[in-house]
A and B are shown apart, each in its own frame.
Chain A
Amino acid sequence: MREAVTRRPNKGQWIVALLLFGLGFGLAIQVRTTQQDALSAARTSDLVRILDDLSAQRDRLAAEETQLRATIAELETGADQAQVARQASKERLQSLRILAGIVPVTGPGVTLTIADPEGVLDAGDILDAVQELRDAGAEAISVDGERVVATTAIVDTPEGIAVADTALTSPIEIRAIGDPDTLTTGLSFPGGVVESVREAGAEGIVVEREVVEIAAVE
C-alpha cells in the first residue's frame, strides 16, 4: 500500500483513476436525480403501480368530498330551517304578548277623543268603539290609558263607565294602533261609532297619528 502512495502514477493507476472518476460522477448525478425527482428513476411497473395507487386515492377522496359537501348542504338547510322556525316563534311570541297586553306598543294609528260632559254614553258605546277598532285591525287599544285586551271588563257603574276597574272621565281618549286609514274608516262610516255617539249627544273626533303609544296592562 505504501508503494501505491509514494510511486508516480503509472498507466494502470491512471486508468483506475479514470474509472473512479466515473464512479464519483455517476454517484453524484444519481443522488441528485433521486433528490430532485425520484419518479424519473423508477421502473415502468413501479410507475404504473404508483399511478394506480394515486388514482385509487383520488377516487376515494372525491367520494369523501361529495359526502362532505352533502353534509354541509344538509347542515345549512337544517340551520336555515331552525333559523326560520326560531324567527316565526319569536314573531308569534311578540304578537301574543301584544294581544295579551303585557308589552307596551308604539306605532301608527288613531286617537278617538270623545267629549261627553253630560255622561250620555254608557259602556255599550265604548264597547262598540273597541269592537269596531278590533274589526278594523287594531293591534292594540287603550281607553283613557287603560290597555284593553280580551279579558278587560268594560262595565257601567254608578260612577259612570269603568274600564278595568277605572272610571272614565270626559274627555275619553281611545287610542288604537294599526293602519290609520282603515281604523278611521272603521270608526267614521255611516252608522258607525262616531255617528252613533253624535246621535246620543256626545262628540267624537278621530285623528290619525303617526305615532301612538299604548302602555301595557297594569
Chain B
Amino acid sequence: MIALLALVVGVVLGLVLQPTIPAGLQPYLPIAVVAALDAVFGASRALLDGIFNDRVFVISFIGNVFVAALVVFLGDQLGVGAQLSTGVVVVFSIRIFANAAAIRRHLFHA
C-alpha cells in the first residue's frame, strides 16, 4: 500500500537527513504530529469499518494540524501556552485511544 510505504519513507528520510526546524516552529511540531496521528488512527478505523474516504482523511488531517497549531499559538499569545498545549495533547490522546479501541475490536474481536 503506497500510503504505508510513504510513511516509512518519511520516517527514514527524517532520520537520515535530520533537518533543523526553524526555532519559531519548534514548539508546534510535536502538537502537529499528535494531531496528525489522531487523523491517521481515525482513518484506520474508518478503513476497517469500510467507510474510508480519502477526502475525509485529507481534510481531517489538515484540519487537525491547523486547529491544533492555532490553539497552541493562541495559548502562547495569551500566556497560557503550556496549559493549552497540554490540553490539546490530552484531547488528541483521548481520541487516539478511542479509535485504537475500535481498531482492536475489529482486529481481535475483543
Q: Which residues of A contact B (CB under 8 A)?
A: 1, 4-5, 9, 12-30, 32-34, 40-46
Contacts and interface: CB of A to CB of B under 8 A. Distances in A.
Contacts of B5: 17
B100 interface: no
A36 to B, nearest CB: 9
Given A9-B2, A24-B8, A43-B81, 4 more contacts: A5-B1, A19-B62, A20-B7, A25-B10
Contact of B2 (A1, A14, A30): A14
Interface of B: 1-15, 18-19, 21, 23, 26-27, 29-30, 32-33, 36-37, 40, 43, 47-48, 50, 52, 54-55, 57-58, 61-62, 76, 81-82, 85
A1 to B, nearest CB: 6
Given A14-B2, A33-B26, A21 B7 contact: yes
A9 B10 CA distance: 18
A34 B33 CA distance: 13
- B interface, over-half SS: helix
B84 to A, nearest CB: 10
A75 B106 CA distance: 74
B2 A13 contact: yes
Most buried by A among B4, B6, B7, B27: B6
Contacts of A9: 2
Nearest to B9: A21
Contacts of A14: 2
A143 to B, nearest CB: 99
A25 B13 contact: yes
Contacts of B26: 33, 40-41
Contacts of B52: 4
B60 to A, nearest CB: 10
A33 B21 contact: yes
A42 B28 CA distance: 10
Given A4-B47, A24-B10, A28-B13, A15 B54 contact: yes
Contacts of B40: 20, 23
